[in-house]
Structure 1
Amino acid sequence: MSDEIFSAYLGRRKTASDAFVAGDITPLHEVSTGCDPATILGPGGDVVEGARAVNATNAAGAARFTGAERNDLETVHSGEEGGLAWWVGVQRSVVSMVGRDEPVPMALRVTELYRREDGAWKLFHRHADTLRES
């Protein structure tokens, strides 16, 4: 049963990712933790610590996007055990951004960690960096 619950959460996470690249932070905030510890290791090389700072960083990031032609999440592997879960994969997007005339292609290697909080899965860590195409 718990695998089904986590699979349903990953569906909500994909919806949140789609909304994020359209400039809407609300669905991501709904699936993200509000409790510490929380971290982002962003594609720009930054390290953000603490739920409040992570959520503020995510809001600022979403504000830079105005839509996406494509936002695909390719799973390498995912799973859950006890109160922790993970998703590892590649995010391939073609996005529109504030101040940019042309769509911007992005390919990121992503690792996300989730924990159970009050019976629900919550995102508490994301590491994303540029995928090196071979």
Structure 2
Amino acid sequence: MDHASKQFEQFMKQREEVAQSYVNGDAEPLARISTLLNPATFFGPAGSYEQGARKVLATNEHAAAQFQKGSNSRFEIFHMAMSGDLAYWVGIQHAEVRMKDRAAAVSMSLRISELFRLEDGAWKLMHRHADAWAPADKE
């Protein structure tokens, strides 16, 4: 594995830690790894979408505020790769989350595709597609 691939692999460990913070109500780590440049897009689990870096950041901040401490998240990465200044991963994000409007924890499994762009030597999230995973989807 070359240096750039190792660097992206290390970034993906950070990305998973960022997801853990997010499901505990803290959007700041995600903001730090998100692009501030356009294009940027987010396709949300409920079928919505946002375009533009500022709108995506605002959407993420609003959504993170719905989560409470005591939540957990982990990635099941099917594959990931990088080439030049673009990288991606696809897989399932499994989470057990505590929502502000619910007493009991909620289990979530989302099919995830994320694209990253190298900006000034740092990987930045430029696109996230998340939708509900149903176990029947797995072959």
Deviation at 1:5, TM superposition (A): 1.0
Determine the structure 1 residue equivalent to 2:20: 18
8 Å contact from structure 1 (residues 68, 93) kept in 2: no
1:43 is paired with a residue of what secondary structure?
coil
Deviation at 1:67, TM superposition (A): 2.7
Which runs of structure 2 are paired with 1:52-63 in the superposition (5 Å)? Answer: 52-63=54-65
Give 1:129's match in structure 2, choosing from 116, 128, 131: 131
**RMSD of the TM alignment (CA)?**
0.9
Give 1:64's match in structure 2, choosing from 51, 54, 66: 66
8 Å contact from structure 2 (residues 40, 126) kept in 1: yes
How big is each residue's C-alpha offset from its partner over 1:77-102, in whole Å with a ceiling of 9 and x where there is no partner? 00000110001010111100001011
Q: What percentage of residue pairs aligned between the two structures are identical?
A: 42
Give 2:45's match in structure 1, choosing from 21, 43, 46: 43
Deviation at 1:12, TM superposition (A): 1.2
Q: In 2, Cα distance between the equivalents of 1:34 and 1:72?
A: 25
| Unmatched tracts of structure 1, length 5 or more | none
Deviation at 1:8, TM superposition (A): 1.4
Give 1:27's match in structure 2, choosing from 26, 29, 41: 29
Q: In the alignment, residue 79 of structure 2 is paired with which amino acid?
A: H
Determine the structure 1 residue equivalent to 2:4: 2
Determine the structure 2 residue equivalent to 1:74: 76
| Unmatched tracts of structure 2, length 5 or more | none
Normalised TM-score (structure 2): 0.94
Q: In 1, Cα distance between the equivalents of 2:6 and 2:78?
A: 18
Structure 1's consecutive aligned runs of 4 or more residues displaced over 3 angstroms after TM superposition are none
